[in-house]
């Protein structure tokens, strides 16, 4: 099945689909409340651990040691960075020293963590967004990049902006673009997947 090119009509249609997915809508609203009202700061390990565990569960991010990730976030003192919209904090959160001195890169998780604090600034990186962006770069050459460029968060956000500019999607915020990329990515690139 051919992927229809992005357009305001396509985005609106996809956002209607998103709004009909009660489980995802409620999941997102509960995370919004958790991150922006209940525990907006990242100083107390208890608060951060609850946020890490909730994201890990809702998004199935496969973080096998939530405590290690929460401790890492607290040690980074990210609130000041989030306040000034520092995009470099995503890659810093992503690189975690796990038990046994193993380093792990939880890049998708880190983008989700920051996005739930400030969705207008931090778009979510996931494999479906990556596949969609690479697909349209191959088809339309909207911006010259390689797949590995998407793993640098500042570059990733810049590419999303170029994507939005190229297809005339300036009326949509980053969260709406996220939803479009995720839903369309699932529809076209996930095997045996149906949105429920």
What are the tokens at 71?
């401790």
Pairing of strands 95-97, 103-105: antiparallel
Query: pLDDT (tens digit, 9 = 90+) per residue, 72-127?
Result: 999 999 999 999 999 999 999 999 998 887 899 999 999 999 999 999 999 999 99
Closest CA to 25 of 169, 184, 179: 179
The reported pTM is: 0.93
The whole-angstrom separation of Cα 76 and Cα 87 is: 14
- Count CA atoms within 13 Å of residue 46 on its CB side: 1
Element (H, E) at 173: none
Reported as a pLDDT band with limits 50, 70 and 90, residue 135 is: very high
């Amino acid at each position: 099945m051919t992927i229809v090119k992005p357009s305001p009509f396509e985005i609106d249609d996809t956002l209607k689909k998103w709004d009909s997915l009660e489980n995802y809508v409620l999941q997102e609203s509960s995370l919004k409340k958790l991150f922006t009202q209940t525990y907006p700061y990242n100083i107390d390990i208890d608060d951060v651990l609850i946020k890490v565990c909730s994201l890990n569960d809702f998004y199935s991010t496969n973080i096998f040691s939530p405590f290690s990730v929460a401790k890492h976030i607290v040690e980074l003192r990210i609130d000041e960075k989030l306040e000034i919209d520092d995009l470099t904090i995503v890659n810093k959160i992503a690189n975690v020293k796990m038990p046994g001195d193993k380093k792990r890169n939880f890049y998708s998780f880190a983008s989700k963590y920051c996005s739930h604090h400030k969705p207008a600034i931090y778009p979510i990186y996931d494999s479906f967004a990556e596949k969609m962006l690479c697909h349209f770069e191959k088809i339309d050459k909207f911006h010259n990049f390689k797949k590995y460029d998407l793993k640098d968060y500042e570059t990733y956000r810049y590419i999303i902006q170029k994507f939005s500019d190229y297809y005339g999607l300036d009326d949509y915020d980053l969260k709406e673009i996220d939803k479009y990329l995720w839903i369309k990515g699932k529809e076209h690139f996930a095997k045996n997947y149906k949105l429920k």
